[in-house]
Structure 1
Amino acid sequence: MKKFVALWLAATCSLALFSQGKPTTKPMYLSYGPTDGKNIIKFNLLGAAIRNYAFYGERMLSRKVSLILGCNFMPRGGVPYLENFTDDETLKTLEVGTFSFTPELRFYLASGYGGGFYIGPYYRFERFSLYQLSTTFDADEEEHTIDLDGSLKTHSGGIVLGCQWLVGSRKNIVLDWSILGIHGGISSGNFNGLTQETISPQDQEEIKEDIEDALDIPIIKSEVTVNDHSAHVKIKGPWAFIRGSFSIGYRF
């Protein structure tokens, strides 16, 4: 009996010492910060260069899984670098503004805890607001303009690949490179324009044809109506786009 008790005590002490000396896979730096170190806020530096401001909040759910909520907006203004893509004078007055909301579930493939290569499925809602999309017509031997205003809304699902680094003495500085994201879904839009001038039946037909020619995209359905004082455009169809970013953030 005494031998059994001695063996039991020896085994218990050995297991206790083993468990104390066993290394943990959780990095010690996660204990730094005012909370638990599993929260990250980030700002996209690349988007800021084209007046598109994007902010992200990331929360680690486990070692290799996190949830990200992203929001970006572009204040109303001219289309960035439009002059590099077209010489069309009617587009020089065009203004655009955007807003998007993107929830993402991110899976880290290597070290985890917010660092390393990752893959992330996501959903994105985006609204593109367009202003002063111009079309012209003649009335009383003078040229007049109708400015079409409206918005295009999209709902998409996609996937993004990238890499994130935790740097600094406490690993609190975050660098996030979303290398490539691809998403696709559906889109719909409405655009309307008014004029005080009376549009003749002939000009109504010409305006309608000009707009339809501009929207002559095989997979996009469009409906154009023009009357004495206005023009209306409805579009609907599939949507696809790419995304990429380089963000800097802070972990806390």
Structure 2
Amino acid sequence: MKKNLLSALVILFNICVAFAQTTTSVSGSNSLVSINEASLIKKNNVKISLTSLAFKNYQFQYERSLTKRIGVVVGYSFISKGSIAFKRQLSELTSDNEDNKKILDNAQLGYSAFTPEVRIYLGEGYGKGFYIAPFYRNLKYDITDVTFTFKSDLGPQEDIDMGGKLTANTFGLQLGAQFNLGKHIILDWWIVGPHYGTAKGNFDGKTDRTLTSFEQAELQKELDDIDLPLGDIEAKANRNGATIKISGPWGGIRSGISLGYRF
């Protein structure tokens, strides 16, 4: 009887050991599969905006998935110094004065923007599907050769070229969707991304000679005709030329399509 009981216990023990080994093996296999699947997920991508190229605006982004739902994006865009796009239309918006409609004819504009954002994916995740993304944006404008014409003691009229820099800081919320076009190619659609903040700018114009009181008064008339939706504008003529200070609200809307590579 004891021998039979002992034999039964040995058999039961072997069965338990065999079952435990099988369970461990299966569990380990599942974990290995999960680890392999996780390692196959591509969590990085780089992108370039296609729609902004029409404005000679080069926009680049790098994105990293931190979790299935959360990703971080760093963007940088710039416009090389050159002629302002749609300058004629912009000039016509600045003033009803025909002379002032020419102030941007020779103007040169340079631009850069740094835009970090946090993306929250609502769809498939890991950089795919619809998302919302709060973001911050720092914009810098470098503008030169803005021309103001005024009556001179030396002739019928004279020009003064002004230039300077404007910086804006804004916060916004981007709504968009990102899709796979292939194994590595992705399409990022910025559906709409309103942003709002403040801006400050300083512009100066220097003459080669000292302006008379009459010339300063005539130049001040031209400066007073500036009509831009940029908040507070303080423009003053002086004996050496003129200064313009701009401060106030600043905003815009981000929208477009980017093409990228996932890795």
TM-score, normalized by length of structure 2?
0.82
Deviating 4+ runs (over 6 angstroms): 24-27
Partner of 1:104: 117
Structure 2 CA distance for partners of 1:194 and 1:26, relative to 1, 3 Å: farther
Partner of 1:122: 135
* 1:79 aligns to 2:93 (yes or no): no
Alignment partner for residue 177 of structure 2, among 150, 159, 163? 163
Q: How does 1:114-193 map to 2 (within 5 A)?
A: 114-139=127-152, 140-168=154-182, 171-193=183-205
- Per the TM alignment, residue 67 of structure 1 is displaced from its structure 2 partner at its CA by 0.8
Indicate if the aligned counterparts of 2:48 and 2:61 stay in contact, CA closer than 8 A. yes
Q: Taking every aligned residue pair, what percent have the same amino acid on both sides?
A: 32
* 1:41 aligns to 2:46 (yes or no): yes
Equivalent pairs counted in the alignment come to 245
Partner of 2:232: 221
C-alpha RMSD of the superposition: 2.8
Indicate if the aligned counterparts of 1:178 and 1:244 stay in contact, CA closer than 8 A. yes
Alignment partner for residue 238 of structure 1, among 249, 254, 257? 249
Higher helix share: 2
Larger radius of gyration: 2
Work out the CA distance in 2 between the residues paired with 1:27 and 1:237: 53
AA matched with 1:195: T
* Deviations 1:60-107 (CA, angstroms, capped at 9, x unpaired): 111111111100000011111333555522321122110110111111
- Per the TM alignment, residue 18 of structure 1 is displaced from its structure 2 partner at its CA by 6.9
Work out the CA distance in 2 between the residues paired with 1:127 and 1:21: 52
Matched position secondary structure for 1:144: strand
Indicate if the aligned counterparts of 2:150 and 2:222 stay in contact, CA closer than 8 A. no
Instruction: Specify every segment of 5 or more residues in structure 1 that has no aligned partner in the other structure, as ranges.
Output: none
